[in-house]
Amino acid sequence: MKYLNLFIIIFVITTGCSRDFDYRISNSIFIEDLENPGLPIYSEKGYNSFGVYWGLSPFTTQMRHDPSKIVVQNDSCHIYLSGNTGEVAHTLVVSLPEYTPATFIELISLNGKKFNLTGPECAVSLLSWERPRELKILEGVFTVKRVQNLYVDKELDSVILSGTFSFKATVDNTPVTFSNGRFDLRFGNENFYYLQTD
């Protein structure tokens, strides 16, 4: 009898923990990269993590932040990478001109794509507390290494975009390097917006 009670207690504890873990996966999981302290590990599991060194400071999703999102508008697809440096919230917006997926399912076409940040196929802007900063890209690359479908109960729930980036730029006329950037983000109905007008 006491073994049965012990089994029930263990079952309740493990079931409760797994539900909590599932909840955190749907939001954001930050696992620190020991080789790049302050940044999340590079992953392709849909952890909703993002990070880059802004100069020597980590700009990451480690603390509270607005969720990342994709907005398709003005004949471009805008990928919002949101995080913070300490107490200041920032958002990098990577814009892909003339790429207008109508649903998150179509994001699969980005799989394996590499974008030169100084070329016409990609543009980057920076917001701090939702205020535009003066950003001029000097050189850099944005790579979507892998795009994969995420199924829940055999139904397509979202798409995971994972990749890396780095660039040199001037922010408000001050030279700075954004290095070791990585992202592992889920996009579905709740954070994909198609705002095209006919």
Q: What is the pLDDT of residue 12?
A: 40
Ordered DSSP codes for 68-109: PEEEEETTEEEEEEEEEETTEEEEEEEEEET---SSGGGGGG
**Residue 192: beta bridge partners?**
70
Q: What is the pLDDT of residue 9?
A: 42
The pTM score is 0.84
Q: Which residues of the chain have pLDDT under 70?
A: 1-26, 63-65, 197-198
Q: What is the pLDDT of residue 162?
A: 98
Read off the pLDDT of residues 89-137 as tens digits, 9 standing for 90 and up: 999 999 999 999 999 999 999 999 999 999 999 999 999 999 999 999 9
Other C-beta atoms closer than 10 Å to the C-beta of 130 total 9
Q: What is the pLDDT of residue 6?
A: 45
Q: What is the pLDDT of residue 196?
A: 74
For the chain, domain boundaries: 31-194
Q: What is the pLDDT of residue 17?
A: 43
Q: What is the pLDDT of residue 64?
A: 64
- Amino acid sitting at position 63: M
Ordered DSSP codes for 11-56: HHHHHHHHHHHHHHHHS----B-TTSTTSBPP--S---EEEEEETT
- Residue 110 in 3-state DSSP? helix
Q: What is the pLDDT of residue 65?
A: 60
Q: What is the pLDDT of residue 87?
A: 84
Q: Distance between CA 113 and CA 128 in Å, rounded?
A: 28
